Amino acid sequence: MTSTSHLNPADLEKFGRELDKIREEILADLGDRDARYIRDVIAAQRMLELGGRVVLLASWLPPAWIAGTAALAAAKILENMEIGHNVLHGQWDWMRDPKIHSTTWEWDLVCPAEMWKHSHNFVHHTWTNVLGKDRDLGYSALRVTPEQDWHPVYLAQPFYNALLALFFEYGIAIYDLELERVPSGEKSAVEVLAQLRMVARKVRRQIVKDYVAFPLLAGPAFLPVLLANLTANMTRNVWAHAIIFCGHFPDGAEVFTEDRLDGETRGEWYLRQLQGSCNIDGGRLFHLMSGNLGHQIEHHLFPDLPSNRYAEIAPQVRALCERYGLAYTSDSLLRQVASVWKRVLRLALP
């Protein structure tokens, strides 16, 4: 755990003001180049998907299957990470474009956008890494901090974490139902049933689209196209799982108790976001394909700022941390993945 004892309340207030200033400067500078960026990414994603699906019509040929599947997987990753996640955060609402807005966007995942926005934008980003408040700590299934009570079910968590990676979109849909709140009466069975119907409708649409309609359009290539769609979806799931887990659970990400929230100031909130998040080093293509969540620290500090600005903000945030003697945790993807799996394996035991 990083010591912050050298910071007094005045220091933290100043720290918060400096981060507010970074945010305000970006907001004041938003304009055509930002709007052009997201529209270009959306256009590129749609061309990738269209190209992939067209090539897959000849997927009885191995080179066509490989190329089409790769293009479709890349399109699904882009749609989920850089477009869907960030649009649903409201990062592009300032454009006033009804087609690229957090209230109208529905993404290519089985989890309904409306449910995800509550569990992620509100619950997770408000109570980041607070044990008992942030349900994203282990997603109600994994033990990711020693402060979580051990149970024999965690002995199997390396196995079911691997399954979660493959079927991540389904795991998130189930997780967003908050089923554990029903027995205590915090959530009614009526509300759960209504949400289950939403999820079922979304699952049906996704299954029909990827595993019935497009394979049928391919005629004799039905099975190769079905397999290509399954492979693309699983590739997207594994990639999203890796990026998200590496931003929240490697060594260096701190967990907090609820008393940390008592009288929490703006500067203290910023500090908690910083201490509870980790970055992943990479180049421009990596950050694009990760939804710029390689800049997880910047995303948690400024979740509503457009993702294309995180690379610009990151050096300023790192320099600010150095001035205040605060850890800025960042490492390569391979090392962060290894760190996450080391934690999952270690905490499977008492």
pLDDT digits (tens, 9 = 90+) for 64-115: 999 999 999 999 999 999 999 999 999 999 999 999 999 999 999 999 999 9
Question: Would residue 2 count as lying in a domain?
Answer: no
Could you tell me the residue range of the domain that residue 226 belongs to? Answer: 9-346
Tens digits of residue pLDDT in 189-245: 899 999 999 999 999 999 999 999 999 999 999 999 999 999 999 999 999 999 999
Which pLDDT score, from 0 to 100, does residue 4 have?
76
When pLDDT is cut at 50, 70 and 90, the band that residue 19 belongs to is: very high
Amino acid sitting at position 286: F
For 280, the enclosing helix (H) or strand (E) is strand 279-280
Tens digits of residue pLDDT in 273-303: 999 999 999 999 999 999 999 999 999 999 9
Which pLDDT score, from 0 to 100, does residue 178 have?
87
Per the CB < 8 A criterion, the answer to whether 244 and 280 are in contact is: no
What's phi and psi for 152, nearest 5 deg? -55, -25
Question: Would residue 112 count as lying in a domain?
Answer: yes
pLDDT of 2 > 60? The answer is no
Q: How far is CA 94 from the centre of its chain?
A: 21
Q: What is the dihedral of CA 221, 223, 225, 231, to 10 degrees?
A: -150
Residue 158 CB neighbours (<10 A): 13
Question: Would residue 96 count as lying in a domain?
Answer: yes
Q: Can you tell me the distance from the alpha carbon of 39 to that of 27, in angstroms, rounded to the nearest whole number?
A: 18
Terminal-to-terminal C-alpha distance of the chain = 21
Which pLDDT score, from 0 to 100, does residue 274 have?
97
Check the CA dihedral 339-341-346-350 and report its sign: positive
Question: Would residue 4 count as lying in a domain?
Answer: no
* The residue to which tokens 């901090």 are assigned: 145
Which pLDDT score, from 0 to 100, does residue 312 have?
97
Which pLDDT score, from 0 to 100, does residue 140 have?
83
Question: Would residue 304 count as lying in a domain?
Answer: yes
When pLDDT is cut at 50, 70 and 90, the band that residue 185 belongs to is: confident
Q: Can you tell me the distance from the alpha carbon of 292 to that of 42, in angstroms, rounded to the nearest whole number?
A: 15
Question: Would residue 3 count as lying in a domain?
Answer: no
Angle between helices 157-166 and 222-248 (to 10 degrees): 120
Angle between helices 266-275 and 9-29 (to 10 degrees): 80
Question: Would residue 237 count as lying in a domain?
Answer: yes
- The residues, ordered by sequence, that sit 6+ positions from 125 with a Cβ below 8 Å of its Cβ are 300, 303
Q: Which two tokens stand for residue 121?
A: 């934008």
Question: Would residue 337 count as lying in a domain?
Answer: yes
Q: Which two tokens stand for residue 112?
A: 């309904």
* The residue to which tokens 């992620």 are assigned: 120
Q: How far is CA 306 from the centre of its chain?
A: 15
Q: Can you tell me the distance from the alpha carbon of 91 to that of 85, in angstroms, rounded to the nearest whole number?
A: 9
CA distances from 14 to 9, 22, 223, 263 (A): 9, 13, 60, 17
Query: How many residues in the chain?
Result: 350
- Number of domains forming the structure of the chain: 1
Q: Which two tokens stand for residue 153?
A: 């079910």
Q: What percent of the chain has pLDDT over 90?
A: 92
* The residue to which tokens 């699952």 are assigned: 203
- The residues, ordered by sequence, that sit 6+ positions from 103 with a Cβ below 8 Å of its Cβ are 93
Residue 101 CB neighbours (<10 A): 16
